[in-house]
Structure formats: C-alpha cells, structure tokens
Structure 1
Amino acid sequence: MAVRASKPSKAFKAPYAALALAGALTLGACSGTTSAQTAAKVDGRVITNEQVQVATDQINTAFEGQMQQPLTPSTTLSLLIQAPYMIEAAKKAGQPQSESAARAQLAQLQETPAPETVQLVQADLSRMKLTQESGQALVETLRGLDVSVNPRYGEYDPANLAVTPDTPNWIVPSESPSPQLAPPQ
C-alpha cells in the first residue's frame, strides 16, 4: 500500500505565505542599499560606494594641481563620515558656510557636482572657520560616532578620525632587507 503525501490545504499555506512576504518586506525596508553597496554606516546614515567614488573623482578633477596629492577612496570616505558634523560645528560657532559657496568652488567642473561633492567642499570651508574651542567639540563628537566601514576601505580609527586601510593577514612584513648576492669573483 503506497502512502500518498497529501498537499497542504490553502488555509494552511496562507499564513506561511503572509509571514514570508512580511519578512521580505521588513528586510527590504531596513535599507535601500545592500551591504555590498555600503561603504560605511555612521550612526545609521549610509554612505554608498558610488557616493565615495563620485566624490573622489569630482574633487580630484575640480582641484587637480591644487592638492598635494589626489584623494583616495579611503580619504574621501573619512571626509564623508565627518562632513555633516563639520558643517554643523561651523553653524554652532556662528560661521555657517553655504552650499552656494561650495558650489562656487566647484564651478570648473564640466558636470553638475554630486551632493556629496558639494558637502565635502562645504565641510572644508566650515573646517577653516572653526575656532579651537569648536574644533575640540567637533573632535569629541567625531570620536563618539558609531561607525562601521566596509572592509574594502579599511577600518575607522576614532583616535585618528580616519579610515585606515587594513593590511591583510596574509601579508607578512619583512623584518630585514633581503640578502644581497655577492658579485661573482
């Protein structure tokens, strides 16, 4: 005698289908970006890889020849983490810097600057207006941030207020220079 598996009834399937749908919607609502697209999360604010890349490219293009060295993605990410707090610190110090002033600094760009690029320039203008007291308050704020960084950029170091690239554990630093071969005699 063969035992036949019975199909679950529609009444049995409905609650599980609703539960699965609710779970998918809940997970989807948690973030508009996937973790692979996320460069960093700062107190719940998401910075995407695309934002980092666009800002890096636009700043390097706009200020080519004016900077000691071009921005790297890790440096740009460090600045994007700090930018809103720098802008706010300048406002609190009575020295707000406008987006229009930042856009004027980017006038030489052939394309419309991305919001992140404008924010970086606005933050730099703001940083220049900070007093020692407002700068110290800013440093304390930045050190208290909850920052998680995509490992591709490195780690956020709150002591240095920067994203520092990781050295993979498979790279072993050389303790002494490689031996030189003696010339044949």
Structure 2
Amino acid sequence: MAVQWRVGVRAAGVLVALTTTAGLAGCAGQAGAAAVVDGTAISTADVRDALDELEPWFQGVTTTNVLAVLVQEPTVVELAEEKGVGVSDEEARALLAQVVQQKVAGATATFTEPSMAVARYSIAFTNLQGLPDAEAVGAEIDARLRELDVEVNPRFGSLEDGNQVAAPLPVPWVVAPQAAPVDDGSTEPTPEPTPSSS
C-alpha cells in the first residue's frame, strides 16, 4: 500500500511518496530499536525525531510510514545511485526547505539525519519512477526488499510479506476500556449480588 504526502504545490515536481511498506524493549536484543535491518538498528529516537520534524510540514505522517521509509531508504537510494539517478544530501535539504517555504512563506526548520533520509528516499523513489523501465525497477526494488533481514518492534509496526512495514497488530492482552455506566436518572437501587452456596 502506498501512502502519499502531498504538499500544496508539488515541490519541484517531487511527490513525497512513502511506501508503507515492533518486543516491548526493542528488536533482536537491541534496546531502543524500532527496527533492525540486516543487523543495523533504526532507533526509536530516530523515528520520533523524523516524526516530530516532518509532521508540521507534511500531511499524513505517521510513526508507521516514517519507520517504513527508514527501513527501505538505504535500498532505494542505493538502487537509484546504480541506475544513474542518485540523490545528494544537498537535494534532500533543498526539498525539505522548499516544502517548508510552501507551507509557511519565510519559515525555516532544522532537520536531522532521519528526516534527511526520508527526503533522500522521496527523491530517489521519484527518480526511479521516472525511468523508462520503471516497472522493472519496481520489481527490482521489491526483490531487494524481500532479501533484507528485517525485525520490527511491535510497538511501531508489523512486518508483512516482502518486508513491508504495516501498522502494529493489536495485542490480545490489551483490553479496550469500557464506557462508564450512564446515569439514567433512576432512583432504584442496584441489586446486591447474592452469595452462592458453593
């Protein structure tokens, strides 16, 4: 499933597209990990930082789609480089600055590495989609993502076929709170439970 963040006017023709591609203490024994990809941890702090920094400027930013992008970004950026349509940090910074300006003229914002990774992913993904053999490239991305060894912290998401990160699954031991009884104005007493004779 693809989630698209649209920004007023398309930033330099770039559509920021996120492909939605968590143990309680972390993943694979790595405390503080939102996910682990081929042995490299994506920290919960990185996911939180990107979410906090991007949320004011992009619609539809969620923990799940930020994590999905951070899982996929190295693969997508590497393939873009191989196909001759790579992306630089300067381009990523420029995209983020342009989005901020489109949202609030004269505004500035600071973005850390996790947010830069989201911007690099966006540009690389768009560049790959623009190639004449985009369908074959899409199949290659899918194949490469399937080869990754990915673990996701269930608090942040769940892992679906093809190493796609999806929303967290409900856990059976968490019970939804029940609504408080409504006062219907009745003056009748609530019946007392009667002891059983067991």
TM-score (norm 1): 0.66
- Any gaps of 5 or more consecutive residues in structure 2? 1-28, 101-106, 129-133, 176-198
Q: 1 CA distance for matches of 2:45 and 2:64?
A: 13
RMSD: 2.2
* CA positional deviation for 1:168: 1.0
How far apart in 2 are the matches of 1:163 and 1:146?
Answer: 16
Residue 154 (structure 1) shift: 2.8
C-alpha displacement of 1:87: 0.6
What CA deviation, in whole Å up to 9, does each residue of 1:55-108 have, x standing for no partner? 111122233xxx3x2x11121111100011111111111111211111012223
Map 1:21-60 → 2, pairs under 5 A: 35-60=30-55
In the other structure, the counterpart of 1:91 is 81
Higher helix share: 1
In structure 2, the partner of 1:162 is: 165
Greater relative CO, 1 or 2 (CA 8 Å, sep 6+): 2
Further displaced range: 160-169 or 42-51: 160-169
Matched residue type, 2:126: M
The answer for the alignment partner of 1:120 in structure 2 is 118
Query: Map of 1:1-185 to 2, 5 A cutoff?
Result: 35-63=30-58, 67=59, 69=60, 71-107=61-97, 108=100, 110-130=108-128, 131-159=134-162, 161-170=164-173
Whether the 8 Å contact between 2:34 and 2:43 is mirrored in structure 1 is yes
Conserved? CA contact 1:93–1:134, under 8 Å? no
> What is the CA–CA distance in structure 1 between the aligned matches of 2:32 and 2:166, rounded to whole Å?
17
Q: Report the Cα distance in structure 2 between the residues aligned to 1:46 and 1:157, rounded to whole angstroms.
A: 19
Larger radius of gyration: 1
- Unaligned runs of 5+ residues in structure 1 are 1-33, 173-185
The total of aligned residue pairs comes to: 135
The alignment partner of 2:42 has SS state of: strand
More strand by share: 2
TM norm structure 2: 0.62
Q: 1:97, 1:151 → 2: CA distance?
A: 31
Q: Counterpart of 2:122 in structure 1: which amino acid?
A: D
Percent identical pairs in the alignment equals: 31
Distance (whole Å) between structure 1 residues aligned to residue 95 and residue 30 of structure 2: 33
